[in-house]
Amino acid sequence: MSRYIINGGKTLNGEVSIRGAKNASFKQIIASLLSENTTHLLNIPCISDVHITESIAKSMGSVINYTGTHSLEITTKKISLPVVPQGTGDKSRSSFMFAAPLLARCGEAIVPIPGGDKLGARPLDRLFECYKKMNINVEEFPNHLRFTTTGILATDFEFQKPSHTVTELIIMTAVLAKGETTIRNAAMEPEIDDLIDMLNSMGAKIKRDITNPKIIYIKGVSTLNGTEHQIIGDRNETVTFACAALCTRGSINIMRIRPSIIATFLDTIESMGAIVVRGRDEVAISWAKNLKAIDIETGPEPDFMTDWQAVFSLVLTQVTGCSSIVERVFPSRFQHIATLNTMGAKTKFFNPEVKNFDSYYHFNRESNKPEYFHGVKIYGPTKLKPINIAVSDLRAGATATLAALTATGESIIDNVEYIERGYEKLADRLCSLGANIKYIKT
């Protein structure tokens, strides 16, 4: 169990560079297995989610060589066994995405039930429905899934609700299918477009509809080549550092990120009174005056991203007035609020009045529970107190870390392994901005 010992209350200032996107990098490692040729990936973050994905790929026969701290070559001449090791599903949801290359190259995939953070159920019904239309048989077991096919067929599939991860998995499955697949109401996240760019550079034929980007066309090809591809910057990491600047009333210049892929977040904090200076591949965030309260709702791209709302909740404890957040993507994603309340935040849960549950929320109705709240009001500004806590979730862990930096005094954050799933050397990089963090690794 590793920990951060944090002495907070210091304003953060300086410059930081963003690493490659977690939610793009591990999926592109998986996508490389669609070809037997070598793929060179650049801007790979050194985080545990990537390392777990690498270990799974190696267990199937991939040869991986690092060509630099943040670049690797991966070659999978032959897949030795179409089975993802049990236990990996609890560590990372990347495990079930190996279904695409396994089905394409072996006709069979045995993968663990996906796990990850404690956010509520991650329904796979949308994937199963599409797979069955693609001539893929689906068998569900208590701890794993088995997919088999006599040949992947193209299909025309429409999501009732867009799904980021399932959109990517269907794209990877369809690139080697017979015929042209059409995905309607597809997710629009930048990480998906980065995957499309990578696959097209391998010889795939994928494009979004010019007039309606929620429609994706995939014309199947017989084989894919290797490629060289640089992964986009991590939006979630960028927003974390932006929130670190705001909650400590500081100023941080964030490098190696395209401001356009976090436009919704930047527009939001700008409307609250934050100073935002956009460059070509950088953005500067500064607290110049007391920020105004705001009401937001999370949703798929181009809405306010669900992964941002935890660290943004912390910022709202420091602004003037009553703000609110409504979580529309996951049924249960306010675990971090209890931590903020322990530190002195003033909040109140509520459920918004909704005319049509199914069209408003992006999770399935059966994933909901009576005890879940989907909205929270946050009253500020509040002077936060130090805390000793063991975290159990990536984004909640990052929020606890920033909250400890905001509070005056010593806090202890245990189980920071969860944070390391998505942030490379977070403590070191925060210290370079003026934070006082002692990282004890066990």
Domain boundaries, the chain: 3-19+233-440, 22-230
Task: Band the pLDDT of 93: cuts 50, 70, 90.
Answer: low
Q: Is the pLDDT of residue 122 over 60?
A: no
Distance CA 151, CA 153 (A): 6
Collapsed DSSP state (helix, strand, coil) of residue 136: strand
Radius of gyration of the chain measured on its C-alpha atoms: 22
Helix residue spans in 202-356 (DSSP H):
235-247, 263-272, 309-316, 335-342
Residue among 321, 307, 322 nearest 399 (CA): 307
| pLDDT tens-place string over residues 175-225 | 999 999 999 999 999 999 999 999 999 999 999 999 999 999 999 999 999
| pLDDT tens-place string over residues 336-393 | 999 999 999 999 999 999 999 999 999 888 889 999 999 999 999 999 999 999 998 8
Give the contacts of 303 (CB within 8 A, at least 6 positions apart). Answer: 264, 297
Task: Band the pLDDT of 94: cuts 50, 70, 90.
Answer: confident
Classify 22-230 by CATH class: alpha beta
Distance CA 290, CA 185 (A): 40
Classify 3-19+233-440 by CATH class: alpha beta
Q: Is the pLDDT of residue 117 over 80?
A: no
Distance CA 109, CA 258 (A): 36
Note whether 6 and 405 are within 8 A (CB).
yes
- For CA atoms 81, 83, 86, 90, give the dihedral sign: positive
| pLDDT tens-place string over residues 28-56 | 999 999 999 999 999 999 999 999 999 99
Segment holding 145, helix H or strand E:
strand 144-149
Q: Report pLDDT for 441.
A: 86
Alpha carbon 306 to chain centroid, angstroms: 9
| pLDDT tens-place string over residues 153-181 | 999 999 998 999 999 999 999 999 999 99
Distance CA 130, CA 159 (A): 9
Note whether 21 and 235 are within 8 A (CB).
yes
Residue written as token pair 């629009």:
188
pTM for the full model? 0.94
Own/partner pairs, 259-263, CB within 8 angstroms, 24+ separation: 259/283, 261/190, 261/232, 261/233, 261/235, 262/235, 262/238, 263/302
3-19+233-440 against 22-230: fold identical: yes
Using left for φ > 0, alpha for ψ between -120 and 50, and beta otherwise, residue 41 falls in beta
Query: For 106, which DSSP code?
Result: H
